[in-house]
Structure 1
């Protein structure tokens, strides 16, 4: 049976019993006393009126105690719409949000007989529980205990009003608007009972009365959320700068190694040939032929050195990468390799230079290692951009190197990817005896933008308070 009906019947019985006792005592007892004392019968006629007056005065004093007894027995509190609105006004005038918002939720539950009443605030792009009745403490936990983790709990946050209305514990919702902007929502749920027009009117009246308070609370919560996001963005910006500094340091070391590797042996050979030519010129004309041959070899060595410098310059700042993007630049690299390379997928447009160059360098280095020798089957390189990431997958069905060798060769590139917020993973045979027995796979990814991304706590500070 509905607890509201039980509470009303019990309250009526208690009041009736009290009135009957007063009438019996005053009328019956007073009549006996008057008869034994020989009092005039006219005074006896006034005893019922005296009993009614005593009952009216007594009910004003006893009725709150009767309501308390009924509430303890039935766990239901009978509230009229007028008393609910008066209680709501008192809650709105409360000195703190800790009293106002939970009080509003309690007023809604008491006034409508709802099993659950919730005050939702619009924070960012979603609705967050600011207060509810019965409170979570009654179930052994509290909003404060949930902390920031509560932002991800479905009971404490919903993305919009439509989802809120679809919840099984919500039967009626009244939005609180600031113009056309949603600031809050009042929701009730009556398990096993229907929402009456009186309930709808009461929730609407409470929403109208508390609209200014709820708008202010929602704006304060949104402001606190934006301040927190600004702080997190500043922290993430500093971390991004440090990652970019790390990437620049990695690239500087790579360039130094490339220059040292390209010039050390070639410059030594060029210096020897120039010395030989000088020795031949010193003994001119006897050693003219020797000097001429030395100069020819020096010229060949100088041309090779210049070609190597061009290759390094193209690797440091590829013109094709700048003009056409990573896919075209990797096509150019694949054209110079002895093994066939098949490029699939795409990035769906241009990205920031740091992202494109980061992907280009790691894939170009992996292609140099895996396709640097002829092989019967082609190397497959797949580019993909999805879910905020740029991902590259390389599959080598007949590897000529081990996974350990590839990881070591890509150590600097792994450091660069980590500095830019990405990662690199290599799978395949580790020992030299396993080469060509199992394929090698490489997966590298980077975020598709460098701007800091800060997740919203969605009112965690409000719930923690």
Structure 2
């Protein structure tokens, strides 16, 4: 959180309240220490040490419970965390010792300083209303009221930010020592991850089934129909009437349908991707692209789901380049490091690509996220545009 955002929020006031509650605990401990010092006897020192140890032991559990509730004032994330499980007694005792020895005293000092800073700009008004003498004095005498007000106002933002930082640090220490992540939430996250993986696997299995049915069923029948019409066209050659012309037209229509079906199958999952991997599949779509595309991919084979995401990322990027970028050149690169592959598509077009303007890039980002990857886009006005996809890449 930046300084300006901190000062413009309720955090400084919540932090002051958080530290103020802790400062109350310093008063009994400071009184006990003062009593021990005033006795100035070995028995008094021993008695003071025993009392302090007993206080820490007796108050460790209730103090930890109070601190967990107090954390919600400054750290709202504590609502998603649970009390300690193992080693609970020792960790609560350790926090009690830290609180009584350091934290409470630090809270007391910070609250005193904060209240002093708040009183400084109000001192001229307090002096007038309560008929007091000068509240702010130096060795040379009272400080003029305008200077007091200006100095106080200048110190307030600094004090507010420092109070917030102290409270935030103290809350982080208490959260680390007294709480642990909510296991129920962790279990739900793990189950969501597993369910997402199952959905991806089910989608991949259904995709393969549709591709197989189209390839081995409808496509083969269209090929047979085209061949039959071709033979019929040859047999009817030279005959009069509309028969030869209609057969020729039917054969041409069948060839067009076959071409469209092959393009549909290629869009679902190209066979070359299954047989030869991402490099060959990307090289094929680069050859069909009307814009010159340089392909430099060095990726080993991986799972079919991840390879499909990499392929469709490049395919979607090239489609967007052709439609919107007015580019003259595209570079597709892919590098592999153990466990990760990075695929980059860069063009020299006009730039200005924005995922919010359409569903293509957003859908691609969602598809990348499903397999645990990350998509980043850099497209300043005037170009160049760079699409970068990082994917978990376990070699097959």
Give the TM-score normalised by structure 2: 0.44
Q: Which has the larger radius of gyration?
A: 1
Give the TM-score normalised by structure 1: 0.39
Relative to total residues, which structure has the larger helix share, 1 or 2?
2
